[in-house]
């Protein structure tokens, strides 16, 4: 005989509910840790200088084109 055989149906349901809740908490903790690990890895990526320069004149020209196009479509 196992210990479970001595428990009532209500007690077994309570144990099962508690166990399912604990499993849910563990899964949530694992997901959070995995997300934290991914964020740490992404933040640690170092791009070489040829990948990171910002050419502000090109950015400004792009937004100017967008604004001009939006303004030309006004009724």
Q: Where are the domains of the chain?
A: 3-72
Given this model, what pLDDT does residue 55 score?
Answer: 80
Given this model, what pLDDT does residue 29 score?
Answer: 97
Give the mean pLDDT of the chain: 89
- Contacts of residue 4, defined as CB under 8 A and 6 or more positions apart, other chains included, come to 12
Residue-wise pLDDT for 30-65, tens only, equals 999 999 999 999 888 887 777 767 788 888 999 999
Q: How confident is the model at residue 75 (pLDDT cuts 50, 70, 90)?
A: low
The model carries a pTM of: 0.54
- Residue 47 backbone dihedrals phi, psi, to 5 degrees: -90, 145
């Amino acid at each position: 005989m196992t210990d479970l055989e001595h428990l009532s149906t209500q007690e077994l349901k309570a144990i099962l509910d508690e166990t399912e809740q604990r499993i849910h908490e563990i899964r949530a903790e694992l997901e959070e840790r995995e997300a934290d690990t991914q964020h740490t890895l992404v933040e640690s990526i170092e791009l070489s200088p040829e990948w990171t320069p910002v050419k502000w004149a090109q950015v400004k020209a792009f937004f100017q084109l967008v604004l001009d196009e939006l303004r030309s479509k006004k009724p």
